[in-house]
């Protein structure tokens, strides 16, 4: 198992926006230095959580092994849930840094929101090969996940195209542009 050491973290930090540490405090992801004493520690905790299948317990264990920091799984949960806006802010800054003005919302859209909608089929392992369909709805320029749904489906009954009925929409919302992935 590759453990995130200082060299790996420093390499990752090179790609982050220059103000990523300040963003941690501004978004209240990093409010007090108790066991997690620096923004670097908080970043490492988030990376351990992401790379260990979203397990708070494994992230806690990895922090102890890799960085010598003891954090219980409940504290990991609190830190991870408080980090959402910080990670979104960094993602937006990275998109703007990489794409520049081309990432900015075009003026002709005005106040309209652009939402990306897609569905993916995930087949489980084993002899039964159960299929689950994951639907997601994402605000493109706000980088915000609006909703996610998953449901069990039978392969024989899988519709050939995605259905809009899986999502809640306000039909009177004129300020909305939908981009939908459909497989036919």
In a domain, 147, yes or no: yes
Does the pLDDT of residue 29 top 80, yes or no?
Answer: yes
Q: Is residue 1 part of a domain?
A: no
Q: What does the pLDDT read at residue 110?
A: 85
Structural domain boundaries, residue 39: 6-102
Over residues 137-151, mean pLDDT: 76
Residue 28 domain-assigned (yes or no): yes
**Same domain, yes or no: 98 and 131:** no
> For 155, phi and psi rounded to 5 degrees?
-60, -40
Shared domain check, 116 and 97: no
Q: Report the relative pairing of strands 176-180 and 113-123 from DSSP bridges.
A: parallel
- How many domains does one find in the chain? 2
Residue-level pLDDT at 102 = 65
Confidence band, pLDDT 50/70/90 cuts, at residue 121? confident
Does 86 have pLDDT greater than 90?
yes
Among 127, 126, 121, which residue's Cα sits nearest to residue 158? 121
Pair (112, 81) in one structural domain: no
From the number of C-beta atoms within 10 Å of its C-beta (0-12, 13-18, 19+), residue 43 rates as buried
Is 47 or 132 the better-scoring residue by pLDDT? 47
């Amino acid at each position: 198992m590759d453990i995130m050491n200082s060299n790996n973290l420093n390499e990752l930090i090179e790609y982050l926006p220059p103000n990523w540490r300040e963003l941690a405090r501004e978004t209240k992801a990093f409010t007090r230095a108790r066991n997690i004493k620096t923004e670097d520690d908080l970043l490492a905790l988030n990376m351990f959580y992401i790379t260990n299948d979203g397990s708070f317990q494994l992230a806690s264990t990895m922090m102890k092994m890799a960085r010598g920091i003891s954090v219980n799984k409940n504290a990991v949960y609190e830190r991870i849930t408080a980090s959402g806006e910080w990670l979104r802010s960094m993602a937006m800054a990275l998109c703007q840094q990489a794409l520049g003005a081309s990432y900015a919302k075009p003026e002709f859209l005005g106040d309209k929101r652009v939402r990306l909608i897609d569905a993916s089929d995930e087949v489980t392992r084993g002899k039964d090969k159960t299929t689950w369909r994951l639907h997601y709805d994402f605000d493109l320029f706000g980088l915000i996940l609006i909703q996610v749904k998953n449901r069990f489906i039978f392969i024989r009954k899988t519709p050939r195209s995605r259905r809009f009925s899986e999502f809640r929409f306000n039909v009177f919302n004129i300020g909305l542009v939908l981009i939908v992935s459909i497989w036919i």
